[in-house]
Amino acid sequence: MVKKNIYKACIAICGAMLTTACGDSFLDHTPDERIELNAATLTDVQCINMINASYPGANYGWIGELSSDNIIDNNAPHMPTSTNSEQKETHLNLNSMDRFDDELFEFKPCVSAKYQDTPYYIWEDEYSSIAMTNVIINLINEHEQLVGKDNLSPIKKAVRGEAKILRAYCHFILVNIFSQAYKDDNASKNDIGIPYVTEVETTVRVEYDRSNVADVYAKIAKDLEEGMAELNDTHMEKPKWHFNIAAANAFAARFYLSYHKYDKVIEHADNVLGKGPVNVSNKLMSYEPFSDYVYAKDFATYFQSPDNKNNLMLITSLSYNFYHAIGYRYAMNGEAARAVFFHPTPTSGNLIIHPAAVASYQYASYSSEDADYGYYSFKIYYVFEYSDKISGTGQAHQVRREFTNTLLLLERAEAKILTGDYDGAVSDMADYEASRLTIGNTLKKAYDIKDIPLTKEMILDWYNPATHGINNPAITLRQKHENTLDNSTDGWGNAKHMGINIPDAAVPYMNCLNDMRRYETMWDGLRFFDLKRWGIKYAHIIGPQSKKIELDWDDARRAVEAPLEARTAGMESSRTKLSTESPISGKARVSLPESSIFMMK
């Protein structure tokens, strides 16, 4: 089943029902509350209202974190996070927040839950958004045929462009979760994809084909390019909640980075950040305002605000991501937290935690000073909407910072590394590090932080696996940096299987980038995408007996399994390996919903 409820019932297009002269009776009204849309009379306002309602509300952050190396099992023996603490293994005896956490951490299919933060919820919600975009695109196409191409209003054209970009984005999220990472066109033809849905469903049961990853990426590129050709954001009342022009370019850069088209990454990033030696500081995240905040809500508001110059696009989601991380079995703790943010960096001297994490409370802890249950971040703080205050029930709303200038800068830096422009990459990473050190004078004095710029020489020394590698037995724990990998199969060596060439000269730069991305994307779920596309080997250690599950670059479990309901309906497993000699299967039948807001007329 791709989507049970095809269209989101969350907007009202028309202000009144059609009536007749028969009096106030049942026959005076349409038989349900769906809205009839007619291509001949389609208005700009209807198009705007539809696209406003089309954005997904699911959050893949927890799935991504739990499936990556950013989370550990607190019940498994682990070292303390701080290198100042006695390096003695400990383990706890905690329950998981939900059974599906156990399933996903062990890389098993999730069969126990279907609500927020589960694969089922992501699958359903993204395909719901896709269905809405298909309605919009179809209606505007029909309207264009009736009025003529030259008479199509600029707003309708812009909304169609936005809808195509949103459709591309939703498929991009789905393929990165439920399939293997893109390698190249030949190798990725052997990896099962996800259904790329472009037609409006008008029959009771529809067959969908999962195709392959190469085909899905080609279709994403087509939608993205066609959408950007028509996109205009002048009609957007609140552009930060839409694919405005800057956000669309940021998405294009992220997509082409995964697609290994690095010149396009740089081109789209330049469209937002500027080209050449320009000052990007006025566009990046500033940590200075955090000095004035006390409460979690204040920190979250600044992180998630559309007025924050760093934020390019925000998405409101229903998610309990924040709750999963607090006081339960699976947490950002121990060696994982050490790798994410609790380690020295070239510009922070001997500090054991990056000052930006201190300033922004990205190292908040639930239990004690030593955070023995793990850490969480105020950037994923939520607003709780009560449906019943007496019983304490309701829904948690979290704003996702889906595209930011700081992450776009790092994506451009990676593209420069992979095209051999090391100096250009250093410039971008130095700008990024400068933004992290805008922590205010109080903290700078307290931690004796000097405004020392990140340099090429620092990177070549600090991120050299021969001197600071995590597997180097000749150095102290404090001198090791968890994100400093070598070019072996335990490090960057598997990238070649993923279609990425990382010569030895590029390794220190990739290590620096890896370190920065791991911090910047924590709790967003994007670390999971990075591990997949880079082919980095990683493991989950489970329970007091330290059961080890290790995923190599080609492990089928790197793809989250498709929901049970989809597979029961006939959809093939996400962990199926295709053959180029045999036809691709993976078809499933789905039913139209019992009711939907839109009826095609």
pLDDT at 278: 81
Tokens describing residue 461? 């020394």
Q: Are residues 495 and 594 in the same domain?
A: no
Assess whether 310 and 381 both reside in one domain.
yes
User: How far, in Å, CA of 122 to CA of 171, rounded?
Assistant: 11
The answer to whether residues 482 and 573 belong to one domain is no
Q: What would you report as the CA-atom Rg of the chain, rounded to the nearest whole angstrom?
A: 25
243-247, 359-363, 537-541, range with the lowest pLDDT: 359-363
Return the ∠ at Cα 208 (arms to 100 and 129), rounded to 5°.
65
Residue 321's identity, in one-letter code, is N
Clarify whether residues 217 and 344 are in a common domain. Answer: no
Beta strands 598-600 and 35-37 are: parallel
Domain shared by 546 and 472, yes or no: yes
Which pLDDT tens digit goes with each residue over 576-593? 988 654 444 445 444 333
DSSP state of 348: S
Bridge pairing between strands 538-542 and 547-551:
antiparallel
- What are the pLDDT digits (tens) for 282-321? 999 999 999 999 999 999 999 999 999 999 999 999 999 8
Q: At what angle do helices 44-52 and 119-147 cross, to 10 degrees?
A: 170
* pLDDT of 117: 96
Look at the block and give the residue holding tokens 């110059």. 309
In-domain check, residue 401:
yes
The 10s digit of each residue's pLDDT in 465-516 is: 998 888 788 888 888 888 999 999 999 999 999 999 999 999 999 999 999 9
376 assigned to some structural domain: yes
Q: Other CB atoms closer than 10 Å to residue 246's CB: what's the count? A: 21
What average pLDDT does this structure show over 154-175? Answer: 98
Can you tell me the mean pLDDT for 337-341? Answer: 94
According to DSSP, residue 83 is labeled T
Q: How many CB atoms lie within 10 A of CB 230?
A: 19
Query: In this predicted structure, which of 53-57, 62-66, 113-117, 361-365 has the lowest mean pLDDT?
Result: 361-365
Given its phi and psi angles, is residue 354 left (phi above 0), alpha (psi -120 to 50 degrees) or beta? Answer: beta
- Give the pLDDT score at 520: 98
Backbone angles phi, psi at 540, to 5 degrees: -110, 135
Phi/psi of residue 374, nearest 5 degrees: 120, 180
Residue 255's pLDDT is what?
A: 98
Residue 127 lies in a domain: yes
Q: Identify whether residues 219 and 265 lie together within a single domain.
A: no
Please indicate, yes or no, if residue 283 is contained in any of the structural domains: yes
* 475 and 588 part of one domain: no
Q: From the DSSP assignment, how many helices (H) and strands (E) are in the chain?
A: 20, 13
Helix (H) or strand (E) holding 375: strand 375-376
Among 290, 307, 532, 535, which Cα is nearest to 401's? 307
Looking at the chain, how many residues does it have? Answer: 601
Which residues constitute the domain of residue 582? 26-56+120-165+179-227+569-600
Same domain, yes or no, for 314 and 190?
Answer: no
Percent of the chain with pLDDT over 70: 89
Q: What is the pLDDT of residues 129-144, one digit of tens each?
A: 999 999 999 999 999 9
503 plus 592 within the same structural domain: no
Rounded CA-CA distance 480/463 in Å is 10
In a domain, 241, yes or no: no
Among residues of the chain, what percentage have pLDDT more than 90? 72
Query: The pTM is what?
Result: 0.92
35 phi and psi angles, rounded to 5 deg: -100, 130
Tell me: do 261 and 371 sit in the same domain.
yes
More confident residue, 289 or 351: 289
Cα-Cα-Cα-Cα dihedral of 494, 498, 504, 505, to 10°?
-150
pLDDT in tens, 22-49: 444 434 445 555 567 899 999 999 999 9
**One domain, residues 416 and 522:** yes
Query: How far is residue 233 from each of residues 246, 248, 303, 403, 516, measured CA to CA in Å?
Result: 9, 10, 23, 16, 31
Does residue 1 register a pLDDT over 70?
A: no
Asked whether residue 428 is assigned to any structural domain, the reply reads yes
Same domain (yes/no): 86, 130: no
Tens-place pLDDT, residues 74-88? 999 999 998 888 889
Looking at the structure of the chain, the number of domains it has is 2
Cβ atoms of 139 and 159 closer than 8 Å: no
The answer as to whether 266 is a domain residue is: yes
The pair of structure tokens assigned to 445 is 């004095």
Domain membership of residue 115 (yes or no) is no
